[in-house]
Amino acid sequence: MTTQQLRPIVSVFPIKGKVKTIKQVPLPSVFSAPIRPDVVRFVHTNMAKNNRQAHAVSTTAGEQTSATSWGTGRAVARIPRVKGSGTGRSGQAAFGNMCRGGRMYAPKKVWRKWHRKINTNQKRYAVCSAIAATAVTPLVMSRGHRVNKLPELPLVVSDQLQSLTKTRQAVKFLKFIGAYRDVEKVIRTKKTRVGQGKYRNRRHVLRKGPMVVYARNLGIKKAFRNIPGVETASVYTLNLLKLAPGSQMGRFIIWTESAFKLLEDIYGSWEKPSKFKSGFYLPRPVMVNTDVERIIKSDQVQTVLRNRRPRSRKYGKKIQRADPYEDMSVMVKLNPYYKTKLQKQKELEEKNKKERKEIVDKSRKEYEDWLYFSEEEEEEEEEEEEEGSDEDREIEVLSDEN
């Protein structure tokens, strides 16, 4: 893995006076460790089990009777019943988990596995992740810390902080650096615990405020001890349960300068192993560049991809079309010749009709002609027969004319 040749610079601030950079130090390699919430969650859930105290139910609870079952034939359930008489308890069911005053189902034992072993490397991985997360402002903010007014994150402060002895001085420093808002939040949100812990000496619940990490305790521990929400820790023994409370990464940490510098030695880098944890190198990320969207959209990737297949929208939708034999527009779309065909058929029909009409007319005419002609013949015959009475008729005609 190629390390960053150029390490980013972090400003060191004084503990009073003016908020300005008095020095600049390089960012230790730990802060570039991969941020793995899954690892932190796993380690945290198991680590949190390690400060549990054993509890169990009394071994004799519910068993301190000499109850025996009455057997069958007595019109009662076959559960063991308390022997004897003269008291309300006699004849009552005993022993079963369903019985009143009986022992519970699977009585809890002290030899339950209370603690969990976690692989050392996993523990160290989680701590590295958690430390890296403390430098990521969005993570710290999402954890709920009020870090808007800070000059910088990670917040590194001069070593003079380690020599503070008075709480007043500590509070003044926190106000000076802009971290007191977080403390105010803690004070404001102090509540009575919900649940039975309140009468088990765990009455109040406090949020977590800033954590001050030092290299040498020259009074700093006592100075910050009484400020609600603030925790102190030595850089040599950073606790995951404090770095990622509730397995939520991004604790607000105030580093002293020497503590900050020591991180490089304590956790090492990818090239140089840790000086304090034997054989430990910083964990390597699975992906160096996790901005997957950016990788996919980069020129190097996009130019090598094949063209996107065109979405064949024409076949995509369920297309309903009308019946071509009822809707002419659909028919013409499928068979552009159809209209012409109909026309031609029509023309042909009309032509045939005309021809037929002609033939019919012709034959009708012929028939009529024939009829007329035959009538004429008949008339002529009739005329020949009636020739005798013709003169009389003529005379009559003449007389009419007169």
Partner 1 sequence: MSKQVPETIKKQVKRSFNSKEVKKEKNEKRVKLLKEIQSKAFKRAEKYEKEYLEQEQKLVELKQKALKEGSFYREPEPKLAFIIRIRGIVGVPPKPRKILQLLRLRRIYSGVFIRLNKSSLRMLHFIDPYVTWGYPDVETVRALIYKRGHARVNHQRKIIDSNEMIYDKLQKYDIVCMEDLVHEIYTVGKNFKHANSFLWAFKLKPPVGGFSTVKKSFVNKGEHGNREQYINTLVKKMI
Which residues have CB under 8 Å from 58's CB, separation 6+? none
Instruction: For the chain, state the CA radius of gyration.
Output: 54
**Nearest distance from C-beta of residue 344 to partner 1, angstroms:** 8
Residue 113 sits at φ, ψ, to 5 deg, of -75, 105
- DSSP states of 301-353: HHTTSPPPPP--HHHHS------TTT-HHHHHHH-TTHHHHHHHHHHHHHHHH
Applying CB under 8 A, the span of 72-80, 134-142, 216-224, 309-317 interacting with partner 1 comes to: 309-317
User: 53, 85, 289, 320: which one contacts partner 1 (CB under 8 A)?
Assistant: 320
Closest alpha carbon to 236 in 288, 192, 275: 275
148 is written with which tokens? 């808007």
91 belongs to the binding site for partner 1 (CB under 8 A): no
Could you tell me the smallest distance in angstroms from the CB atom of residue 113 to partner 1? 50
Q: Which residues pair with 177 in a beta bridge?
A: none
Answer for the pair 250, 219: CB distance below 8 angstroms, yes or no.
no
Nearer to partner 1, 76 or 322 (CB): 322
323 binds partner 1 (CB under 8 A): yes
The DSSP line for 227-268 is STT-EEEEGGG--HHHHSGGG-----EEEEHHHHHHHHHHH-
| Nearest-angstrom CA–CA distance, 2 and 269 | 11
279 is an interface residue for partner 1 by CB under 8 A: no
105 binds partner 1 (CB under 8 A): no
Residue 336: Cβ within 10 Å count:
9
Q: How far is the CB of 149 from partner 1 (least distance, A)?
A: 23
Per the DSSP assignment, residues forming a β-bridge with 253 are 211
Q: Using CB under 8 A, which of 4, 50, 340, 343 touches partner 1?
A: 340
Edge-first strand order for the sheet with 253-256 is: 23-26, 9-13, 155-157, 253-256, 211-214, 231-234
Nearest distance in Å: CB 314, partner 1: 7
Query: Closer to partner 1 at the Cβ: 96 or 324?
Result: 324
The CB-of-305 to partner 1 minimum distance in angstroms stands at 10
Q: What would the two tokens of residue 223 be?
A: 């100075």
337 interacts with partner 1 by CB under 8 A = yes
Pick 68 or 298: Cβ nearer partner 1: 298
Tell me which of 335, 343, 363, 374 binds partner 1, using CB under 8 A.
335
Nearer to partner 1 (CB atom), residue 326 or residue 400: 326
**Residue number, 339 or 364, with CB nearest to partner 1:** 339
Nearer residue to partner 1 within complex by CB, 204 or 333 = 333
Minimum Å gap between C-beta 352 and partner 1 is 14
Considering only residues 289 through 308, tell me which ones interact with partner 1, judged by CB under 8 A: 293-294, 297, 299, 302, 307-308
Q: Report the distance separating Cα 341 and Cα 85, nearest Å.
A: 113
Nearer to partner 1, 119 or 303 (CB): 303
Select 60 or 302, whichever has its Cβ closest to partner 1: 302
CA distance 36 to 283: 10
List of residues contacting partner 1 (CB under 8 A) = 293-294, 297, 299, 302, 307-308, 312, 314-315, 319-321, 323-325, 330-331, 333-338, 340-341
